[in-house]
Homo-oligomer: A and B are copies of this chain.
Amino acid sequence: MPKHALPVTREDDFAQWYQHVITEADLAEESGVRGCMVIRPWGYGIWERIQRLLDDRIKETGHENCYFPLFIPLSNFEKEAEHVDGFAKEMAVVTHHRLVMKDGRLIPDPEAKLEEPLIVRPTSETVIGNAFSRWIQSWRDLPVMINQWANVVRWEMRTRMFLRTSEFLWQEGHTAHSTEEEARLETLRMLEVYRSFAEECVAMPVIAGEKPENERFPGADATWSIEAMMQDGKALQAGTSHFLGQTFAKAQNIRYQNSEGEFDHAWTTSWGMSTRMIGGLIMVHGDDDGLRVPPRIAPHQIVIVPLLRGGPEDEQIKRYCNELWYELRKQYAFGEPLRVWLDTKETRPVTKRWGWVKKGAPVILEVGGRDVAGGNVSVIRRDRLHREDGKLDSTVMAKGEFLDAAKAILESAQKRALLGARERMEASISRSITDFDKLVDYFRSGGKHPGWAEVQWARPTGAELDKVVERLKAHKLTFRNVPNDARDADGTCIFTGEPAVERILVARAY
């Protein structure tokens, strides 16, 4: 049996294992501020890679970045009742703009109370809709397609790092169109951007589909999502795209004059992906030795660790490592220059090795006196860390051979990460359950880590849907989405017995 770097394995306790990965990989930590975390350099470095690659895709599809205010006047929320209901329970409210010292303590200055309280944005539909109403007058102004990278705040009672924090980072796209069709196409185009980004960059296989009515964004006509399967079998919603119809346009007075001179309300969309993605990354790609970061989003793809011993060889080792660094930096993988890090910290080499293993750097190169003498490097690949016998797999390669292979090693690690996760996901989706009791059994008998079930249903609505949702809830189950590429329905609804109209995913979820 291999010994592992983390004190708790996934099998032991998945939730505890998750926390250990975050701590041991230096991703984030509690900040001392309720519900807010500090994202540490390795975690933030992953977020920067996600930002860069997703931002490129958002721009390629014709969107421009803007920045809108953090604060939203309370009255803005009153305009869209359904939207408020969805968020009013969890918002930070600014009521004063100054502190004053009283009896040796700082307090909000009663003289500096705001006339109208300000909300710290939980999402920006209302404030951006407000801008759209100024920007849009004529059909010539449409479409408006913008995006912002920002922090948002939703007051959460139970928080969990990356998955549910009071403050989190995200991008939120907002668009306005002259026709329903164009807005619907935009909603689906961005869903596809999320799907391909998750799979190509984060190596995270997902199922893209439409959310049922009860899971829609507050105020939306339709919501689509990508859902990823964590290693404990639970689902994580990793990105959403909303078709908002004309609801927000009516509430915010986003009107345009068409080419015939008539006025109509615009059709809007919004879509977002957040730092939650890093929680998903951990639970899809982590193992009992810590995190494994797919090379495309790894802040460092190759880490060079000089094995210094305080002896006379040290200078030679340093020079050799420096040369290696330069030679690797000249190379490309995934169309970008390799990201190579030379670890010169004053820490013991074995501590460094396991530090980088736990952080999940894709390739670790160790260079000692013997490697220098032989013109070699000792290569540790994070995606195949252990040999059959459980020992650490460190392979000596000629330096030139490694230089020739570096790009291929990284590209294959990326591919294998996606394929491995996809295989696991596909093997864990049951598509043959035909009645409710068997559904419950499936999740009950799945042991600790049941997968998902794709079942046929009649798409009930309103109170009837609520009843179904309650039945699922009793077993801690939720609807995820109606997969876009599911087969047509050909049976009966497992909830109502009526003829089914489509297939929907059921799962436990984060």
Chain A residues packing against B (C-beta within 8 Å): 29, 31-33, 36-41, 44-45, 47-48, 64-75, 77-78, 84, 88-101, 105-108, 117-120, 127, 130-131, 134, 140, 146, 150-151, 153, 155, 167, 169, 345-347
CB A24 to nearest CB in B, in angstroms, measures 15
CB A149 to nearest CB in B, in angstroms, measures 9
Which single member of B44, B89, B106 contacts A66 (CB below 8 Å)?
B44
- Which residues of chain B are near A120, meaning CB under 8 Å? 70, 94, 120
Which single member of B29, B74, B98, B155 contacts A90 (CB below 8 Å)?
B98
Given contacts A33-B118, A97-B93, A106-B88, contact A70 B151 (CB under 8 A): yes
Please, could you name 24 A-B residue pairs with CB atoms under 8 Å apart, sorted by A?
A: A31-B69, A33-B69, A33-B72, A44-B64, A44-B65, A44-B66, A69-B167, A71-B92, A71-B167, A75-B106, A78-B105, A78-B106, A88-B98, A88-B106, A91-B97, A91-B99, A92-B97, A92-B118, A93-B108, A94-B94, A95-B95, A98-B155, A120-B120, A140-B345
Q: Are B95 and A93 in contact (CB under 8 A)?
A: yes
In the complex the two chains form, what is the Cα distance from A347 to B142 in whole Å?
A: 12
In the complex the two chains form, what is the Cα distance from A167 to B44 in whole Å?
A: 23
Given contacts A88-B98, A108-B95, contact A153 B70 (CB under 8 A): yes
CB A168 to nearest CB in B, in angstroms, measures 10
- Which residues of chain B are near A93, meaning CB under 8 Å? 94-99, 108
Residue of A36, A131, A140 with highest tally of chain B CB at under 10 A: A36
In the complex the two chains form, what is the Cα distance from A345 to B78 in whole Å?
A: 36
In the complex the two chains form, what is the Cα distance from A88 to B127 in whole Å?
A: 28
In the complex the two chains form, what is the Cα distance from A65 to B49 in whole Å?
A: 12
- Which residues of chain B are near A155, meaning CB under 8 Å? 97-98
Q: Are B127 and A31 in contact (CB under 8 A)?
A: yes
Q: Are A167 and B99 in contact (CB under 8 A)?
A: no
In the complex the two chains form, what is the Cα distance from A26 to B475 in whole Å?
A: 54
- Which residues of chain B are near A167, meaning CB under 8 Å? 69-71
Q: Are B95 and A37 in contact (CB under 8 A)?
A: no
In the complex the two chains form, what is the Cα distance from A117 to B151 in whole Å?
A: 20
In the complex the two chains form, what is the Cα distance from A434 to B448 in whole Å?
A: 83
